[in-house]
Chain A
């Protein structure tokens, strides 16, 4: 059984650019959630996908969007990057209402 994986591990972008982050869920997990963790803060919920549909969203603007694929892997897309988007982006997967398992994160730096 493999755990949650994320790619890339690090990324540097400039303001105004677009970025796509990827997440492979743990085997058997059908729900994927994305979190943003700014430096010195706890993770903040961005949105969640279940069976390829978004079924929950936090207080993030529409330029944060996502996808879930039939194999339950997921992407987080951020358009028109801003300096404040610099953060660690965490993906978590789970099966039903069971425990969420987190990936190692992607560290995004926006210059």
Chain B
């Protein structure tokens, strides 16, 4: 079964604290993993994708194929990071439509 699991509905941290948003996946094949973010009153937007291996707004995520995880991390949280975060996957290669399978989302609340 193809599935993305985000075990935490809400993660609350203080400004300056480290953040780790958990994401586990189940997929038979070679997936591409993404993190999407939705700030208050804004549309869903891509934060990062594993194949680009870049850091956006201080966030990084490493694909761990052994643990089938793609956790999102940031060493020092900022108040402007408060948002809803969705982990998603899609299939790679020919024959895959590129449809995204999303987790249920985690609300990150960064307190001052």
Residues of A within 8 A of B (CB): 4, 31, 33, 35, 40-45, 48, 55-56, 58, 90, 92, 94, 97, 99-105
Contact = CB atoms under 8 A, between A and B. Distances in A.
Nearest to B49: A99
A41 B86 CA distance: 10
Q: Which of B4, B6, B44, B102 has the largest number of chain A CB atoms within 10 A?
A: B44
Given A43-B44, A99-B46, A99-B49, A56 B104 contact: no
B2 to A, nearest CB: 10
A102 B44 contact: yes
Interface of B: 4, 6, 43-46, 49, 86, 88, 97-105
A104 B4 CA distance: 23
Contacts of A4: 43
A103 B99 contact: no
B99 A56 contact: yes
Given A101-B45, A105-B43, 10 more contacts: A31-B98, A40-B104, A41-B104, A42-B103, A43-B44, A56-B97, A99-B49, A100-B46, A100-B98, A104-B43
